């Protein structure tokens, strides 16, 4: 498909590359300005299965306790 598009563009390779980028930009603008807003009405944005609980409260004790089993190491100045 891209080969057919490339061969159908006029001019040398530099002009073809510029025209291909221009066509890509036009397609992106058309999608964002007209296609995506039109399709948005059909998408179920309000039907979310994700809860608002992040689970941070369940992980908080685990974040503090892993170092509790390590022995207390004295400061190097206390050794002399």
Q: Inform me whether the pLDDT recorded for 13 exceeds 80.
A: yes
Count of the separate structural domains present in the chain? 1
Give the pLDDT of residue 76.
Answer: 64
Examine residue 59 and state whether it is found in any structural domain, yes or no.
no
Contacts 24+ apart (CB under 8 A), 3-8: none
Helices (H), the chain: 2-8, 13-30, 36-40, 56-64
| pLDDT of the residue at 23 | 95
Asked whether residue 64 is assigned to any structural domain, the reply reads no
Residue 12 included in any domain: yes
The answer to whether position 16 is within a domain reads: yes
Domain containing 35 equals: 1-40
- Rounded to 5, what percent of the chain is helix, strand, coil? 65, 0, 35
Instruction: Give per-residue pLDDT as tens, 38-80.
Output: 888 887 776 666 666 665 555 555 555 555 566 666 666 666 6
């Amino acid at each position: 498909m891209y080969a057919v598009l490339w061969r159908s563009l006029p001019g040398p390779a530099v002009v073809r590359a510029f025209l291909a980028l221009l066509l890509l930009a036009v397609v992106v603008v058309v999608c964002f300005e007209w296609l995506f807003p039109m399709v948005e009405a059909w998408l179920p944005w309000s039907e979310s299965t994700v809860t608002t609980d992040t689970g941070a409260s369940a992980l908080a004790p685990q974040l503090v306790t892993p170092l509790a089993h390590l022995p207390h190491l004295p400061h190097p100045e206390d050794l002399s």
